[in-house]
Structures are given as C-alpha cells and as structure tokens.
Amino acid sequence: MNERLAAADAALKAGQGADAIEHLVAAVSAEPVQPLQVYRTLLTQFYLAGRRIEGLEWADKAIERHPKDFQLWNLRGVMLRQLKRHPEALASLETAFKLAPNDISVQVNRGNVLMDTGDYVRAEAAFSKLARVEPRNAEHHRMLGRALIRQGKRDAAMVRFRQAVGVNKQHIDAWLDIMSHQLEQHKVAAAEATADKALEANPDHERLLETKAIILRRSSQLRRAEAYMLDLLPRFPKAAWLHYQLGGTISEWNRERANGHLRLAMSMAPDKLDYRMALIESLERTRTGDEGANIQEAYELAEAALDLVPENPNPAHMKILYEVFVRVSGFDELDRLGDPNWLGRMWAESGKHTALLKLLAQVKTLEDRYELLESHRVWGRAAEKQAAEHPIRRPPPRPAGGKIRLGLLSSDLRRHPVGYFALPLFEHVDTERFEVYCYSFYQGDKVDNVQEFITSKSAAYRWQPDISSRDAAQMIAEDQIDMLIELGGTTHMNKLDVMSYRPAKLQASWLGYPHSAGLETIDYLVCDPYTAPPRLDLLVEKPLLMPRSWIALGRMVFSEDHVIEPGLPQDKTGRITFGTANNPHKYNRGMFQLWSKVLLATPGSEFLFIRPEGGTAAFRKNIHAQFEMNGVDPARIKFNAVRGRHMPVYNQVDITLDTVPLTGGTTTTEALWMGVPVISLIGEAFFERLSASIMANSNVGDLATTDPDEFVRIAAALAGDRARRLEMRQNLREWMKAGPLGQTEQFAADFYDMIARTVRGPA
C-alpha cells in the first residue's frame, strides 16, 4: 500500500489529480485504516476535480474513521453546498464549527451557506466575527455587507462595501456591489461615478468596463452607452462582452448592425447562453431584409438552445424562446417550455410583464383567466413596491378652475395602430376645456407624418428616448397632469411602470394592451358596452365606459387610398377564400380546430395567411400540420408574406376568420374597411370581445357569436350567401363611416366628456 501512496504523492507533484485519486482510492479500499492526512488529501482532490458525488461517499467513510476531524466535516459541507443540498451542508459545517470554532475556512464556509439559506441574521454575526479577526480581509467586509443589505440595512451595508474597497482597491466584487446598490436606489450618477473610480484603480478591467455600459443602458442612456462602447471597441475588438452589450444597446435603431455584433459575441463565446439568446431575440425582431429568413434562423437557433436550458431556467431566456416558437406556431416546442400558467407566474415574479401578452391566446378555462389576471397582479405589486421605496416628488397643486390637463403616455403616437386610433382625439381637440400632453420613449430617430400631426395638436409632446421610468414619472408629475392615460402596456418601447409611481391623481389604460395591466395605481380601463366583460372581477381597474365605441378611425390612416376592387374574390378564383392577418401570438391548437371545421363545412375553400411569417419554412410547416391533423388538405392553405403593405391583399379574401380567444382589433377594423366580413367568437374577458365591439358598430354584429358551433354555421352560411357578401363588399366602408367608428368628432366629444366627468364630477 505504501507503493500506492507513493504513486499518489508523485501524481500530485506532477499535477495529475485524476491519477492521484485513483491511487488513493485503491490504497484506502485495500486498507481503510489510513492516516487522517490520506483521507484529507483524497477528499481535497475530489473537491478540486468537481467529483462531488464520489467525494461525498468517501467523506462519509473518512468521517466514520475520523469523526472528530473538523477538516473532513468542512470538506463534506463544501461539496454539499456545491450540490445545492444546503440544509445538509449547514449541518456538516455546524459540526466542523463546533470542532474548530476559530478556524477561518470553516467560518467562511458556514457564513456562505447561511447566506444561501437566507439566514442573514446569523450570517451577519458570522462575518462580523471574521471582519474583527481579519480586518484587512476585504472579502469578509463584503460578505458582511451582503448579509446586511439582505436585511434592509442599506447604509450599514454600504459602509462595509466601502471598507472592502478601502482595504483592497482591486476587490472587483466589492466595487460591483456598491454600484448594484446605487442602481437599486436609482442613484445612476453615483453608480457611474463609482464605476469611474473603480476603473481608476483597475484600468481596463473588463468586468468594470462592462458594468459601466450596463449602468448607462439600464438608465436608458442608450446613445451615451453606444458612444462609450464604440470608443472601447478599437482597444478590445475581440471582447465578446463588448459586442454583446453594444448589439443589445443599438438594436432599437439599427437591427442589422446589432445582429452583426451579436453574431460576433456568440462566435467568440459560444458557451455563453446569454449571447445566443440575445441574437435569437434580435433576429426574431428584425423587420428589414428577408424577414422570413431572419425568423427561420431565430427558430433554428432557439430549437438548438432548448437542450441548453438548465433545470432552473432564466426567465428572460424562456421568454425569448417562447416568443420565437409562438412566432412560427411551434406548439410542440411551446409544450416543452412548460405550462402557460407556470410560465406566467415565473415571468411575473421576475418582472417580465411583456411576456404575459403572449399568454392571452392560451387560456382555456375560467380558472386560466383568473390565473392570468393574478400573474399581472403579481407583477403590479412588485412594481408598486419598487415605486413606493423610491417615491417621486409631488409639486404643489395647480390653482382650481384651469383647463384639464390630459396626459397620454405612449411610445406609439406615430405610424402605429395605437397612433391611428388615437388620432381622432387630436383631430378634434377640445381646446376650450383641455390641454393634451403626450409622453413618448420611442427609440427611433425619424419623425413620421402622424407624429408630426399629433405634436402640432398637443400642448406639449415630450419625446424622451433616454429617460428612466422614475425620471419620466417625475417629469409627468411636474406637468401636474389631471388624468394620465397609458396606451401601450409593456409592449415594445413603452414604460408601463411609470404608472406605478402615480404621477397623476387619476390614471387609466386605453388602446395598446388588451388586458388589465396589473397595477392598482391604474384606476380605470376605457371600455364600451361591448368590450366591458360581464365578470368585472376579470379586471383590476374599473371600467371607464364610452357610450358607443371605445375606438374610432383616424382619417390619416383609414382613407380612401385603400382601394376595394369591384366584385368578389370568389368571382376571380372560383372558390371561397378565408383568411387572417392576425399575429401568430393569437394562435393556438383549439383555434385551428375551429377554423378547420369551417373549411370542412365549405368544400373547395382555401385559407390565406397574410403575414410576414409566411416566408418562414417553420411557420408554413407548422400551419400545414395543424390543418392536416384536423382533416384539411395542406394544399388548401396559402401564404402571402407581406408586411406593412397588406391592405390590398384583402382583395383576395372573401371572409376573415377571427382568432380565438384573443380576438383581432386593428386587423378586424382593417378587414371591414376593405369590405371583408369577419366571423368572431365572443368570450368572457376584455381581450375576447374587441372584434364584437367593432363589428356591432359596423352594422355586422350578427357575425359574432358566443357559440363555437354557431361560429362554423355562420361562416359556412355566409360563404354560400354571395348576395350578402357582395352587399358588404360594396357598403361596409360606408357603414363604418356612418357609425360610431367613423363619427370621429362625436367620438372625441364623448371621450373628452367622459374624462371631464371623471376628473371634475358630473356637470
């Protein structure tokens, strides 16, 4: 056996840990009665090799031979911690602590596990002792600071973090802790100053350089962040983190260049899942070039990434994957990601409100609807707590009797569906009673004609792309707005969390997000008699009821320039063509079953998807598969891969079938404007009733039903009723113009009256 031990010793000296383990295991297996040092060496080598399961087996055998050795218990505890078996790890380290209460390594390891288990009070005591014993050890001060900050003792924690960098200016983690705390306190300037100070002591340290970029990005100073990183690029051309951060920073205004940087980041660090996910997300959002090819590449990267997702996934990664698979109707891949209700809670708890929109189409039961509502509330409570901890300043109230200041909060008051539907309020501004203030965080660099018009009609149009949510709330509060209405939820480039600070006395939601936002600080949701849900407990807000319609048609968009070709599409093709232009995030298996029944009830008919995803192989394959499994020949399914210029394509469609349960809004209006009837299914929640309102206000309310079987019967009957379809083709636009949707002056009057009553009470 001495030969085995000698061989192990030689292997250790040669740096051959695996060979040393083999010799030591052979020696101890043959003769368990070995000196303590042999067991210590064996466990240490298992630990260094990352072979924790085997190490634990031998730790138990070693402790059986030497139960009073603190180092064996210590090593065992460390390996258990690495396996995330924290209660067992703590028990093992407590034993080591009792055996050697003054051993520094035991105290450090025990303190670390106390932090892991959330026992911050005992962790504070442990690291306080260590800081007294070794006051020149910066890490002891840092860990004490972390234990303090977890208890809300922020000032005391900052003292310890500063002590850590005072003792050792090269202690990068301590510098990062200071900056993290400052960002949490919304002290952006202080965090940036700390980054500069840390970089003075540690020039060109890449973690610090990256953190400064992150500070600028998180504070919405995107142009400054870009300039800062472009300045670094010549010095660090092969720094993957730099390309990753730069790509993420500029993606809102230059997708092509962003994708180039993200590709470089992934190629330089292929094991970094964050980099891969960032490229996937950016490709899916790229609208320039060959959009279908971009989506296909994103899908293929996402499909490969499924096998890389850990057991406890990053919510942001799951959101990216979900959005890609939704985009191509990859329902099998969506199933692999998890139950929608579970995903909703995960995203809400991690602040990913934007992901919740993609779950609206997946509800099946009333319980699902309430669960989705609760996920929104979970996000809302966290946002309100954050705002309460960092309140804005309240200016003194304005003198009574002045004009009502109405604020509209949206980054989409431009050529965007939200802008289109908001236009009537600007076309017919009630200047006698109101001053309209607009707030936008749009990241683009061009002003379109819709934005120009809205700006010209506003008392103020505050376009602030580089502003934080808290600073935006402060800006709005200083404008002394009487009622603030947000129009975007957490859709792209909007800042819903501004509402959590309650910068205005009264607040509401309208237009951009078809569900309750989840904030108790939003008092109202603008509805009409059709969209208001029968179950009011499916809303967080109170319904603020418009008398006829909650939307109207902006003349700059819904114009006569969109020509309706004479006759019917059926006359040109010899068959009925059903279709949709609705976004795939509204699709689900049940909807395809319903649509398939319509096609089967209408022999010879076809279905046309008017979507840019039609240029994506994965989308076409999945759509074909959904119809085929429901008995419809895939040859009957057609695609027109168009973006932005889709209105003329409605001339190829006889009847549009609405999505279920999340109905169309803009698409329903567009179809009817082009003389194409819509068949819709009415549900219980607000987002299931949008089309019904539009159709009722367009003189075709009978095409909406609450019964799925009736949905099929209505569609099939209309397909056989050429005379009625021709009547609608010729008259639908005029019906819309004559009804509440087209009477924009009356709509604006109703809207301003509603706001005035809400702000000042009944006249």
- pLDDT band at residue 5 using 50, 70 and 90 as cut-offs: confident
The first and second tokens of residue 309, run together, are 């997702």
Residue 323 lies in a domain: yes
Which residues have a Cβ under 8 Å from the Cβ of 520 and sit 6 or more positions away? 380, 381, 384, 540
User: Where would I find the H helices in 31-153?
Assistant: 36-49, 52-65, 70-82, 86-99, 104-116, 120-133, 138-150
CATH number at residue 64: 1.25.40.10
Q: Say which CATH number the domain at 722 has.
A: 3.40.50.2000
- CATH number for the domain spanning 480: value is 3.40.50.11380
Cβ atoms of 455 and 477 within 8 Å: the answer is: no
> Which amino acid would we find at residue 15?
G
Under 8 Å between Cβ of 477 and 392: yes
> What six digits make up the tokens of 684?
């219980």
Domain end marker among 363, 389, 415 = 389
d(CA 138, CA 135): 8
Helices 154-167 + 172-184 axis angle, to 10: 150
Question: Averaged over 267-295, what is the pLDDT?
Answer: 95
Residue 585 to residue 322: CA distance in whole angstroms? 10
Q: Which amino acid is at 322?
A: Y
Of 216, 249, 284, which residue constitutes the final position of a domain?
216
SS3 per-residue string spanning 155-174: HHHHHHHHHHHHHCCCCHHH
pLDDT in tens, 566-578: 999 999 999 999 9
In this prediction, residue 556 has a pLDDT band, given cuts at 50, 70 and 90, of: low
pLDDT for the residue 19 = 83
The tokens for 683 are: 């549900």
Is residue 409 located within the same domain as residue 385? no
Verify that 385 and 413 share a domain, yes or no. Answer: no
Question: pLDDT tens digits for 326-341?
Answer: 999 999 999 999 999 9
At residue 653's C-alpha, the angle toward residues 651 and 656, to 5°, is: 130
- Residues 413 and 497 reside in one and the same domain: yes
Q: Is residue 93 part of a domain?
A: yes
Does 193 fall in a domain? yes
Angstrom distance (rounded) from CA 440 to CA 437: 10
SS3 579: strand
Residue-wise pLDDT for 603-650, tens only, equals 999 999 999 999 999 999 999 999 999 999 999 999 999 988 899 999
pLDDT band at 105 (very low <50, low <70, confident <90, very high): very high
What's the whole-number mean pLDDT along residues 161-166?
96
> Side chain identity at 130, as an amino acid letter?
L
Q: Same domain, yes or no, for 362 and 321? A: yes
Report how far residue 662's alpha carbon sits from residue 660's, in angstroms, rounded to the nearest whole number.
5
Q: Can you tell me the distance from the alpha carbon of 534 to that of 683, in angstroms, rounded to the nearest whole number? A: 10
DSSP state of 530: T
**pLDDT digits 0-9 by tens, 373-403:** 999 999 999 999 999 999 999 999 888 889 9
389 Cβ contact list (under 8 Å, min separation 6): none
In this structure, are 585 and 535 located in the same domain? no
- E strand spans, 511-566: 524-527, 542-545
Q: How far apart are CA 580 and CA 586, in angstroms?
A: 11
Six-digit token pair at 179? 């900056």
Under the banding of pLDDT at 50, 70 and 90, the label for residue 357 is very high
Give how far Cα 392 sits from Cα of 186, 385, 501, 554, 566, Å: 11, 13, 7, 35, 58
In a domain, 754, yes or no: no
Q: Is residue 650 domain-shared with residue 677, that is, in the same domain?
A: yes
Query: Are the C-beta atoms of residues 4 and 27 closer than 8 Å to each other?
Result: yes
pLDDT value of position 170:
96
DSSP H helical ranges for 350-444 = 366-389, 417-427
Q: Which residue has the tokens 């699709």?
A: 587
Query: How many residues are recorded in the chain?
Result: 763
Domain membership of residue 352 (yes or no) is yes
Nearest residue to 607 (alpha-carbon basis) of 639, 570, 631, 568: 639
pLDDT at residue 30, as a whole number: 79
Map tokens 């009011």 to a residue: 536
pLDDT value of residue 331: 98
Which residue's structure tokens are 């300037």? 189
Q: d(Cα 546, Cα 375) in Å, to the nearest integer? A: 28
Same domain, 548 and 574: no
Q: How far apart are CA 506 and CA 487, in angstroms?
A: 15
User: What residues form DSSP beta bridges with 577?
Assistant: 606
Percentage of residues of the chain with pLDDT beyond 90: 82
| Closest alpha carbon to 592 in 329, 322, 323 | 329
Query: Looking at the 3D structure of the chain, how many domains does it have?
Result: 4
Q: Residue 1 pLDDT > 60, yes or no? A: no
With residue 334 as reference, give the H or E element that holds it. Answer: helix 331-337
Contact 465, 472 (CB under 8 A): no
Residue-level pLDDT at 763: 64
Q: How confident is the model at residue 557 (pLDDT cuts 50, 70, 90)?
A: low
Which residues, other chains included, contact 351 with Cβ-Cβ below 8 Å and sequence gap of 6+? 379, 382, 383
DSSP state of 497: G
pLDDT above 80: residue 700: yes
Residue type, position 719, single letter: A
> Are 586 and 722 contained in the same domain?
yes
Q: What is the DSSP letter of 583?
A: -
- pLDDT (0 to 100) of residue 529: 97
Q: Would you say the C-alpha torsion 61, 62, 67, 71 has a positive or negative sign?
A: negative
Q: Please check whether residues 28 and 78 belong to one and the same domain.
A: yes
Q: Is residue 760 part of a domain?
A: no
Measured CA to CA in angstroms, residue 436 lies from 398, 474, 553 at distances of 16, 18, 19
Among residues 572, 566, 606, 624, the alpha carbon closest in space to that of 719 is found at 606
Query: What residue type is assigned to position 122 of the chain?
Result: R
The residues, any chain, with a CB within 8 Å of residue 613's CB and separated by 6 or more, are 292, 295, 327, 328, 584, 619, 641
Distances (CA, A) of 322 to 178, 577, 584: 34, 31, 12
- The count of other CB atoms within 10 Å of the CB of residue 382 is 18
pLDDT at res. 29: 83
Rounded average pLDDT over 248-256: 92
Domain stop point among 216, 245, 279: 216
Average pLDDT, the chain: 94
CA 257 to chain centre: 23
Decide if pLDDT at 11 tops 90: no
Q: Residue 437 in contact with residue 458, Cβ under 8 Å?
A: yes
Residue 523 lies in a domain: yes
In this structure, the answer to whether residues 44 and 144 fall within a common structural domain is yes
Identify the domain containing residue 334 by its residue range: 313-389
Report pLDDT digits (tens) over 116-159: 999 999 999 999 999 999 999 999 999 999 999 999 999 999 99
Q: Is the domain of 413 the same as that of 376?
A: no
- d(CA 585, CA 581) in angstroms, rounded, equals 12
Q: Over 80: is that where the pLDDT of 97 sits?
A: yes
| Residues in contact with 699: Cβ distance below 8 Å, sequence separation at least 6, in sequence order | 732, 735, 739
Report how many helices (DSSP H) and strands (DSSP E) the chain contains, helices first.
33, 13
Q: Is the bond preceding 661 in cis, omega lying within 30 degrees of 0?
A: yes
Residues 427 and 507 in one domain: yes
Identify whether 280 is part of a domain. no
